[in-house]
Structure 1
Amino acid sequence: MAEGHGHGHGHGHPVSGDADRKLLSGALALIVGFMLVEVIVGFAAGSLALITDAAHMLTDAIAIVLALIAIRLSAKPPAGGFTYGFKRVEILSAQANGITLLLLAAFFVYEAVNRMIHPPEVKGALVLITGVAGIVVNLFATWLISKANRSSLNVEGAYQHILNDLFAFIATAIAGLVVLLTGFARADAIAALIVAALMLKAGISLVRDSGRIFLEAAPARIDPQALGAELCAIDGVVEVHDLHVWEITSGEPAASAHILVAEGLDCHQIRVQIESLLAEQHGLTHSTLQVDHASGDEIDAHCSDAHGTVHRSITAVGRGPDLASPGHSPAGH
């Protein structure tokens, strides 16, 4: 029997955690400062679009703060019962960001519809000036965060907040110009609806992606069924079961499997071959494999309690093509 554990954690991103913190902190200072100004102007102008933008900027600030906390915690080494350390704190942060966006979007849709029915007086000039200023501030903040490591869902969540706010300010500036030139007050509520739609889109994406990691689903780019069949096609491999592919955190996929090989073959050599295939073809540099010799009776014994699909080679003694058996979802071995 051969057991192996292959791993490597080079994500290929030049920006360090310290650099990420500086970039995020700079964006946070810009966002908080402008948000305070926008709240004051929003109430003075009677603009829901500006108040919506300000609330969105508050979620931006919260997203960045959570990202900074997550970066610090995820850098802590594994200890005690936390065998992966605190890497999934960033996924908690991403999920919180996504849920916040969805809740705020629902609220602002409600408010915007009310204002479409009963439009209040809106001071277009103030809305236009503030919207243009917001575009400038968010352009700089977006540029700062775009230089950070966006392969992290945590940082990507903060980036999506800022980017959506940039689009929101563009809509707000246009609404202010329309109100100023035509007196059409409902343009402000329409801009708020556009902002809410952008928030919904970003929120759904973050909740979906972070949810896949929490549920330990395979990365979207990897099909476990196809991977199992590919491993069974390797010369000497008789069966693959307990095959699990999941993400420890964003950008850190992992895999584990129990491999049965034909008697008389070198388990260690086949394990090295499989680890090389996983790393080079699928980016699975963190893998844990158990490789055993198999006889016909041993195959049946192993299959009796396999977790997930069982893959068998078409050359397995007395066996047909790959078979599937019901099992349990990955447990993150």
Structure 2
Amino acid sequence: MSTENAREYVAGNERSMKIAFALTATFLVVEIIGGVLTKSLALISDAAHMLTDTTALGIALVAISIAKRPADKKRTFGYYRFEILAASFNALLLFGVAAYIIYEAYFRLKAPPQIESTGMLFVAACGLVINLISMRLLSARQGTSLNVRGAYLEVWSDLIGSIGVIAGAILIRFTEWAWIDSAIAVLIGLWVLPRTWILLKSSLNILLEGVPDDVDLDKVGASIVQVPGVLSFHDLHVWALTSGKVSLSMHVVYDPKINTSAEILPILQTVLSKEFGISHMTIQFELVPCSPSAEMNFI
């Protein structure tokens, strides 16, 4: 990704998230008041998710702002990793909210309060509209950034919550079964947990400098040895600074009679960039392996 494209990408993410943040922050106040007045745990659960939406979007915006800072003498790779820290925090925040809602629902199932279903329905319907707009803003960009994906997941879970609350309000109005409110709150919490775990796992993999999920190390190795002049490789490392910014370092043993290192390097760069999306690489060329046991070693 070129510097100009990277700036446009970050700016696009920032614009979308600012609008989504303004919408969710505004409606958060309405939903909290509505949840208290109607005594609906499902609505309060939805408001809690809306709070995490607002927090997540705020953190994501801060992360984008920090990530735009240029590299310096202390941060030679720049501040891209801050976006992953934000995504990890958002995942942990979702875990906490889901646990609280399930805990609160347990006690409410024993003694369900009287629910004002009409007010509950109206507030949930407004929340659904807000979530649909926010999802529309974030959906196009959530596939390329864990930071945006974390915010998108927050909004997506809240959208499902709004649908659940609407369904619950309708059922309570016609059946007067108040326990439905708590049951829906629990279902919302359980629905969010596995998706939150996926986000957290992806974030931790980047923080631990693991191989990105969409990079097959065996295929990378197979492509490397197919380049004319390459005899073997070792000390291969592949990791990501942040979403979509994959880096590689390795030692390559080559035969100068077939190709020189100057001829092999641009071929490797093209192959690794086009086939695996690796944007930054450091390659050390050797006529013989730097240690007897190094040949074809992936670590």
TM-score normalised over the length of structure 1: 0.83
Q: Provide runs of 4+ in structure 1 moved above 6 Å.
A: 10-14
Kindly indicate whether the alpha-carbon contact (under 8 Å) linking 2:142 and 2:152 is maintained by their aligned counterparts in 1.
no
Cα displacement string for residues 98-117 of structure 1 (whole angstroms, at most 9, x for unaligned residues): 01101111121122222223
Distance (Å, rounded) in 2 between the aligned partners of 1:303 and 1:218 = 26
Cα deviation for residue 20 of structure 1 reads 2.9
Confirm or deny that 1:135 pairs with 2:128. yes
Distance (Å, rounded) in 2 between the aligned partners of 1:177 and 1:68 = 37
After the TM superposition, which residues 78-157 of structure 1 pair with which residues of structure 2 at under 5 Å, given as runs?
78-148=71-141, 150-157=143-150
Kindly indicate whether the alpha-carbon contact (under 8 Å) linking 1:237 and 1:262 is maintained by their aligned counterparts in 2.
yes
Query: What is aligned with 1:302?
Result: 291
Confirm or deny that 1:284 pairs with 2:273. no
Cα displacement string for residues 68-125 of structure 1 (whole angstroms, at most 9, x for unaligned residues): 1111111110012101111111000000000110111112112222222332221211
Q: Alignment partner of 2:112: what SS?
A: coil
| Higher relative helix content | 2
Query: What is aligned with 1:320?
Result: none
Distance 1:303 1:285, change over 3 A: farther
Kindly indicate whether the alpha-carbon contact (under 8 Å) linking 2:172 and 2:180 is maintained by their aligned counterparts in 1.
yes
Q: Tell me, which stretches of 5 or more residues in structure 2 are unaligned?
A: none
What is the identity, as a one-letter code, of the residue corresponding to 1:202?
Answer: R
Confirm or deny that 1:211 pairs with 2:200. no
Kindly indicate whether the alpha-carbon contact (under 8 Å) linking 1:91 and 1:210 is maintained by their aligned counterparts in 2.
yes
Cα deviation for residue 302 of structure 1 reads 2.2
Cα deviation for residue 16 of structure 1 reads 4.1
Cα RMSD between the aligned structures?
Answer: 2.1
Query: What is aligned with 2:42?
Result: 49
What is the identity, as a one-letter code, of the residue corresponding to 2:27?
Answer: F
Query: What is aligned with 1:166?
Result: 159
What is the identity, as a one-letter code, of the residue corresponding to 2:177?
Answer: F
Query: What is aligned with 1:273?
Result: 267
Distance (Å, rounded) in 1 between the aligned partners of 2:248 and 2:165 = 47
Distance 1:26 1:235, change over 3 A: closer
Cα deviation for residue 275 of structure 1 reads 1.6
Kindly indicate whether the alpha-carbon contact (under 8 Å) linking 2:223 and 2:271 is maintained by their aligned counterparts in 1.
no
Cα displacement string for residues 39-70 of structure 1 (whole angstroms, at most 9, x for unaligned residues): 11111111111111111111101111111111
What is the identity, as a one-letter code, of the residue corresponding to 2:37?
Answer: A
Distance (Å, rounded) in 1 between the aligned partners of 2:6 and 2:157 = 24
Cα deviation for residue 149 of structure 1 reads 6.1
Cα displacement string for residues 209-253 of structure 1 (whole angstroms, at most 9, x for unaligned residues): 111101111111212233223322333322200111111111101
Query: What is aligned with 1:196?
Result: 189
Equivalent residue pairs, number: 298
Distance 1:234 1:282, change over 3 A: same
Query: What is aligned with 1:331?
Result: none
Q: Alignment partner of 1:287: what SS?
A: strand
What is the identity, as a one-letter code, of the residue corresponding to 1:302?
Answer: S
Kindly indicate whether the alpha-carbon contact (under 8 Å) linking 1:161 and 1:202 is maintained by their aligned counterparts in 2.
no
